[in-house]
């Protein structure tokens, strides 16, 4: 049985579908910040443990053969909203979970890290980073992931086989949707406003990858021979895109449905920008992401129109908005008690 932490999240809900389709038994461990509606289709087929990783009960590892670790605060704004919780969840809890796995003889452990570890800002030297490049993460989110990577690599030995996937920014449809990721945000703006705005002239580079390719990459790393993956870091990206190019692909994908205005804003130049080389995972494991942005956007459009997924502006789809709301509600409820 495979344990997927953060299995009710954006990537998790796609990954669960892929694992079940392969006949795997799946247990999920998730705090359910965003609810579990994304798992509706799989409810009867998975074992669900609701809980916060910071207070992890190792009983959730009973019967588990390998772990895919996705849980945590998953972007810059939420990490900065509460840096202490971010450190506890993304770094400390990852170490605690890994230690519990190692003690129980659960060897294979994939970790959803991030390419934003490479970010040095728009005006840094424009180089192609690979897994051996020196890094100096600055933002709380990137630092917490990098620290977690280091803990996992220190624990790596004959008895424990961590594999780190430094994922590019993800795009594409998931039953638990996020519209706070650049391509998905552009699609939302295109449909709701008929216009989208590209900041900093759209010059920034980003490695990007479709959500189904991310799910498949984790499965590949779980199934790969141990000697190929133990203690390895793999960048995961379909391609490096400039942000302006992404706007172009969204317009292309929508061209039969609507006219899209692209506004380029040059008013400020503070943005993340980095390019990565993602060749290693193909060379070592023969794994290559296959879904380009345009195809992924077409798939999202089809799902949106076919199933009427039109509540784009619900705060649940924007991690920082949702977390802020939850926090405010928590404060209010602490004062007023129950709502009625």
- Give the binding site for ligand NAD (CB under 6 A): 6, 8-12, 30-34, 52-54, 70-74, 89, 112, 114, 167, 169-170, 178, 181, 319
Q: Taking the complex as a whole, how short is the minimal distance between the CB of residue 255 and ligand NAD, in angstroms?
A: 26
Nearer to ligand NAD by Cβ, of 72 and 162: the residue is 72
**Euclidean distance between CA atoms 115 and 109, whole angstroms:** 19
Nearer to ligand NAD by Cβ, of 169 and 273: the residue is 169
Candidates 120, 148, 156; CA nearest to 135 is: 120
Q: Taking the complex as a whole, how short is the minimal distance between the CB of residue 73 and ligand NAD, in angstroms?
A: 6
Minimal CB distance to ligand NAD: which residue?
Answer: 9
Q: Taking the complex as a whole, how short is the minimal distance between the CB of residue 337 and ligand NAD, in angstroms?
A: 25
Nearer to ligand NAD by Cβ, of 20 and 92: the residue is 92
Contact present, 46 and 18 (Cβ < 8 Å): no
Q: Taking the complex as a whole, how short is the minimal distance between the CB of residue 286 and ligand NAD, in angstroms?
A: 22
Nearer to ligand NAD by Cβ, of 52 and 245: the residue is 52
Nearer to ligand NAD by Cβ, of 53 and 187: the residue is 53
Instruction: Tell the residue number behind the tokens 């990206």, with chain if given.
Output: 237
Contact present, 4 and 28 (Cβ < 8 Å): yes
Q: Taking the complex as a whole, how short is the minimal distance between the CB of residue 107 and ligand NAD, in angstroms?
A: 21
Nearer to ligand NAD by Cβ, of 161 and 276: the residue is 276
Beta pairing, strands 47-50 & 66-69: unpaired
Q: Taking the complex as a whole, how short is the minimal distance between the CB of residue 56 and ligand NAD, in angstroms?
A: 8
Q: Taking the complex as a whole, how short is the minimal distance between the CB of residue 185 and ligand NAD, in angstroms?
A: 11
**Euclidean distance between CA atoms 33 and 55, whole angstroms:** 15
Nearer to ligand NAD by Cβ, of 9 and 162: the residue is 9
Nearer to ligand NAD by Cβ, of 76 and 189: the residue is 76
Contact present, 276 and 236 (Cβ < 8 Å): no
Helix (H, G, I), strand (E, B) or coil at 78: helix
Q: Taking the complex as a whole, how short is the minimal distance between the CB of residue 163 and ligand NAD, in angstroms?
A: 14
User: To which H or E segment does residue 323 belong?
Assistant: helix 319-336
Q: Which residues pair with 276 in a beta bridge?
A: 129
- Burial-class residue 299 by CB neighbours within 10 Å (0-12, 13-18, 19+): middle
Helix (H, G, I), strand (E, B) or coil at 266: coil
Read out DSSP for 157-195? BTTBEEEEEEE-EEES--SS--S-SHHHHHHHHHHHHSE
Q: Supply φ then ψ for residue 176, to 5 degrees.
A: -110, 95
Q: Taking the complex as a whole, how short is the minimal distance between the CB of residue 115 and ligand NAD, in angstroms?
A: 7
Read out DSSP for 285-305? H-------HHHHHHHHHHHHH
Helix (H, G, I), strand (E, B) or coil at 279: coil
- Taking CA 109 as the corner, what is the angle to CA 103 and CA 111, rounded to the nearest 5 degrees? 130
Nearer to ligand NAD by Cβ, of 102 and 178: the residue is 178
């Amino acid at each position: 049985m495979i344990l997927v932490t953060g299995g009710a999240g954006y990537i998790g809900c796609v990954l669960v579908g892929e694992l079940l389709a392969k006949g795997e038994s799946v247990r999920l461990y998730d705090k359910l910040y965003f609810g579990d509606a994304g798992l509706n289709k799989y409810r009867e087929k998975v074992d669900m443990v609701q809980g916060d990783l910071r207070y992890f009960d190792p009983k959730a590892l009973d019967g588990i053969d390998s772990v895919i670790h996705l849980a945590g605060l998953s972007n810059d704004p939420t990490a900065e909203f509460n840096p202490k919780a971010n450190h506890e969840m993304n770094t400390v809890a990852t170490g605690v979970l890994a230690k519990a796995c190692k003690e129980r003889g659960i060897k294979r452990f994939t970790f959803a890290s991030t390419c934003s570890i490479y970010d040095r800002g728009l005006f840094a030297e424009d180089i192609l980073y690979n897994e051996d490049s020196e890094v100096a993460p600055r933002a709380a989110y990137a630092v917490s992931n990098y620290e977690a990577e280091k803990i996992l690599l220190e624990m790596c030995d004959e008895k424990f086989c961590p594999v780190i996937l430094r994922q590019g920014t993800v795009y594409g449809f998931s039953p638990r949707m996020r519209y706070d990721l650049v391509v998905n945000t552009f699609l939302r703006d295109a449909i709701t406003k008929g216009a989208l705005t590209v900041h900093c002239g759209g010059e920034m580079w980003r490695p990007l990858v479709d959500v189904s390719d991310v799910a498949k990459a984790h499965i590949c790393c779980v199934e790969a021979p141990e000697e190929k993956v133990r203690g390895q870091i793999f960048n995961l990206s379909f391609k490096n895109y400039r942000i302006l190019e992404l706007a172009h692909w969204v317009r292309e994908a929508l061209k039969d449905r609507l006219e899209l205005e692209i506004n380029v804003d040059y008013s400020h130049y503070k943005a993340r920008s980095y390019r990565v080389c993602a060749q290693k995972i193909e060379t070592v494991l023969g794994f290559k992401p296959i879904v380009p942005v345009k195809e992924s956007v077409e798939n999202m459009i089809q799902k949106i129109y076919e199933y009427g997924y039109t509540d784009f502006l619900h705060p649940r789809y924007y991690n920082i908005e949702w977390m802020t709301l939850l926090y405010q509600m928590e404060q209010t409820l602490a004062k007023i008690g129950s709502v009625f």
